[in-house]
A and B are shown apart, each in its own frame.
Chain A
Amino acid sequence: MTDSCRGRAKSEISLVVNGALKTVNAYPMERLLDVLRHQLQLTGAKEGCGEGECGSCAVLMDGMLVNSCLVPVLQAQGSNLVTIEGVAAEGVPHALQQTFLECGGAQCGICTPGMILASAHLLNQKPEPTIDEIREGLSGNLCRCTGYAQIIEAVAEAARRRTTA
């Protein structure tokens, strides 16, 4: 949280989160991450570093992968957001959620929400990524538990299931 959010008037900011229109009253420079976690009670996005290095706070904003700790909420005005809570379609887990479970892609789980959103973004861009493309595509999301191998396998497996489905 920067000082610049203090001493300024809050404004009404509207955004679509996981398909539902939300209006929040927030300081314009407040971090999107804090608004999601504290005002919208969407605590799936995590703060790992607060400076855009670890990707634990990653969400999709108009289809783009962003680190929500670096996005002032004003910038999200009118945008369409997807968080980990909105990844499953009507209770059916996303293919990535299923393959992360099956392949051991989640250990402590703290990077998992951001990692799954980064993986979903990657598969949207490249439905059949090579292993090197997966390594590159997830290199903005840090995981200290897995050494990434089982995450990479989960993404490759989700891609395989989608293309053979």
Chain B
Amino acid sequence: MNNDRIIGNSVPRKEGRDKVTGKSQYVDDMVLPNMLFGATVRSRIPRGRIRNITFGPGISWNEFAIVSAKDIPGKNCIALIGDDQPCLANGFVNHPEEPILLLAHPDRHLLPQAVEAVSIEYDPLPAIFTIEESERRAEIVWGEDNIFKTYLIEKGDVDGVWEQADCIVEGEYTTGAQEQLYIENNGMIAAFDATKGITVWGSLQCPYYIHKALMALCDLPAEKVRVVQMETGGAFGGKEEYPSMIAAHAALLAIKSGKPVKIIYDRMEDMVATTKRHPSRTRHRTGVSRDGKILGGEIDFTIDGGAYATLSSVVLSRGAIHAGGPYYWPNVRIRAKAVATNAPPHGAFRGFGAPQSLFAMERHMDRIAQTLGVSPVEIRRRNFLQPGQTTTTEQIVREPIDLGKLLDRALEVSNYQTKRQQFAKENHRGQTKKGMGIAAFLHGAGFTGSGERYLSSVVGVEGCADGSVRVLVSSTEFGQGTNTVLSQIAAEALGLPYESVSMAQPDTLQVPNSGPTVASRTVMVVGKLVQSAALGIKQTLISSNLLGEAYSAEEFRSACRNYIAKHGQFRSWSRYEAPSDIFWDDQKYRGEAYAAFAWAVYIAEVTVDLTTYSVSVDDFVALQEVGRVLHPLLARGQIIGGVAQGIGFSLYEKVVWQNGRMQNGQMTNYIMPTSADLPSIRVFFEELGNVYGAYGAKGIGELPMDGPAPAIVNAVEDALGIRFDSIPLLPEDIMDALVPSSPLSGVGSTGGDR
């Protein structure tokens, strides 16, 4: 049977028709009988003791369900890695917008006034808002030292490098917070039944994270907690951990009121109260030889985790492991640290620490090139990791990757050399300056180190009574194409048409825990398990003599029906087993950090307008090696969408902070790129294949977030000859640099800003 039309072909998106006709059911589209609407009363101060709570006049409080920390049946925490984040503040707040009380009422229009009418008196305590304030420990706001987590990655002998080096290059690079800005705001519905327990439906990435959190919070056994994912309108990491909080709140209100409760955040609540990308600071000190080889260096990578630990340790880990970029470091010492501040906890966002540390690495490569007087192309070429060499964690590069070849192709398709010469000639005249910038990088697919082994994901494939096949996973669709690609894999494995495979709705009563939908792991790790579970179905039918080795789709359907008639339910399971050649040392942070890396070279062409000081990206080349491309249309969509978010991260998206609270929590003043702002983003794939992933696939989702920021800022420096080492890079920053006495000078760098 010829299945070439499934893998590698752009079959129709599984849930596409419902999306283009408006039929898809997102959580706010769902209504339950007698449903109440819930709202959250939040802290107005960054840190302090709650002295008194008063329910003000003019509100019929007896009509409201009201929940406080004392109503929590189990443990007052959102169980995740550590259990330090309370579900509701219990006498103490550690960040603005921290949840304190919950209200529910049948009329959603009454809730905003009721939230306003709750007045809370505090004894405020001093708070800290920046990495530097946290490091100075003027106030200890978390643990004993404000430090959530540190890592040390060491290879070779860094201390011996400084003497041999012809040149030592130092730099400090910072990145700002970034809002995920999925277009569907967060939302959850919860219903409680004394015998069945609690059920929640919502917009989410990780059903089993919520399942775990609700078990601890409600003190219920696993079978009495059910989590169902509704169609989810974008996530990008932003619906990895915070939905557990909203589900917890809806659940508490449902338990208290005895009625179903819906909580839907409006845009401002979603922006100011939920997670964002961790702000970061990276310091590089690198010893290089005159001929442009990296001899070794120290990298200090620090992220601001906000008020609670949540996922910061894991974000830090990925950022630290990616901090050396796609280069060979004979000697390196990477010190990584996540610190506490009194901002809402920062969290998962596509790239997960890597965009931060790679921005620094790729800016620093240009600085090294300038210091030595070699080109940005040559400095990269001379230091690229080669097969057989080891990464900073001493992982041997086993893939036959040729980064020099990727670079050559990217230079060619971007017309880099010709354009750069042309710009150098033309830039001295006129009010616009043009430049070209390169970023080379890598992104590890799947959980880090021993992570996949601990997850121990399980996937099911079911033969159904009508002879069709259903994939059972908790891996969620939120636009990336999970439903489509996992169906392709099952169809390919079984030799069936794509249309005969369907996806079960992620519902913890129905599907096993295939792990969270994060870390670019779905196609590579979960996909491989789907492939093997599907093969299990086929083997069972063959060994039961219901099916021959070669069969038609009709013969398969008939065999499936016969099997079920004889034996009942027909399911095949597959559990993750770590490949035997993968070794990771959690203590020394050494070994095979990832089963596979995706590799990329991105090139940006920009124009800086010296009248408005704005930067426009004129052309963008995104060239990557992601293993086999299973669905070209979806893969290209992932890359372009990720690059667009990366352009926003570089040039548009600034979170303005004051006392730990986001001041611009609206789409009118937090600016993401529109269709009129973006260049043509040209996507190219190299396909080497990968032994660990389904049909040779690697991860792809996060990769495109890593490269745009350094490529663009490198291009701006190429255009202007001025260094910028912080993003977002806004027109006022460029004006400040070019016109030091401008009236705007200093604006945007005051007080609580960062």
Chain A positions within 8 Å of B, measured between CB atoms, are 1, 3, 5-6, 37, 42-51, 53-54, 56, 83-85, 87-88, 93, 97, 100-113, 116, 134-136, 138-152
Tier of interface size on chain B: 35 or more
Q: How far is the CA of A51 from the CA of B266 in the complex (A)?
A: 11
Q: How far is the CA of A142 from the CA of B641 in the complex (A)?
A: 12
Contact between A142 and B637, CB atoms less than 8 A apart = no
A116, chain B: closest CB distance, angstroms: 7
Contact between A53 and B678, CB atoms less than 8 A apart = no
Contact between A53 and B666, CB atoms less than 8 A apart = yes
B622, chain A: closest CB distance, angstroms: 10
Give chain A residues whose Cβ lies under 8 Å from the Cβ of B183: 46, 48, 54, 56, 108, 110-111, 142-144
With A50-B267, A101-B12, A147-B681: A93-B20 Cβ-Cβ less than 8 Å = yes
B712 contacts partner chain A, Cβ-Cβ < 8 Å:
no
Q: How far is the CA of A145 from the CA of B637 in the complex (A)?
A: 8
B575 contacts partner chain A, Cβ-Cβ < 8 Å:
no
Contact between A144 and B668, CB atoms less than 8 A apart = no
Stretch at the interface among B21-29, B140-148, B282-290, B542-550: B21-29
* Given A50-B266, A108-B182, 4 additional A-B pairs, CB 8 A: A54-B667, A87-B21, A103-B633, A145-B234
Give chain A residues whose Cβ lies under 8 Å from the Cβ of B24: 109
Q: How far is the CA of A14 from the CA of B231 in the complex (A)?
A: 32
Contact between B675 and A101, CB atoms less than 8 A apart = no
Closest to B640 in A: A147
A3's contact among B29, B113, B180, B642, by CB below 8 Å, is which? B113
Give chain B residues whose Cβ lies under 8 Å from the Cβ of A110: 26, 182-184, 233-234
B481, chain A: closest CB distance, angstroms: 8
Give chain A residues whose Cβ lies under 8 Å from the Cβ of B644: 146-148
Q: Is the interface of A mostly helix, strand, loop or mixed?
A: loop
Chain B positions within 8 Å of A, measured between CB atoms, are 10, 12-13, 15-26, 28-29, 108-109, 112-113, 180-185, 231-236, 266-267, 478-481, 633-634, 636-637, 640-645, 666-668, 672-678, 680-681
Please provide the 10 A-B residue pairs with the shortest distance between their CB atoms, ordered closest to farther: A44-B22, A110-B233, A108-B479, A147-B644, A109-B19, A84-B22, A107-B479, A53-B667, A147-B640, A139-B676
Contact between B675 and A148, CB atoms less than 8 A apart = yes
Q: How far is the CA of A95 from the CA of B113 in the complex (A)?
A: 45
Can you name 25 A-B pairs with beta carbons within 8 Å? A44-B21, A44-B22, A47-B28, A49-B666, A50-B266, A51-B668, A54-B183, A54-B667, A85-B22, A93-B17, A106-B16, A109-B18, A109-B20, A109-B233, A134-B675, A136-B676, A139-B674, A141-B675, A142-B667, A143-B675, A144-B181, A147-B640, A147-B643, A148-B644, A151-B675
Give chain A residues whose Cβ lies under 8 Å from the Cβ of B480: 107
Contact between A101 and B672, CB atoms less than 8 A apart = no
Give chain A residues whose Cβ lies under 8 Å from the Cβ of B640: 146-147, 149-150
Give chain B residues whose Cβ lies under 8 Å from the Cβ of A6: 109
Closest to B676 in A: A139
Interface centre among B233, B642, B672, by most chain A C-beta atoms within 10 angstroms, is: B233
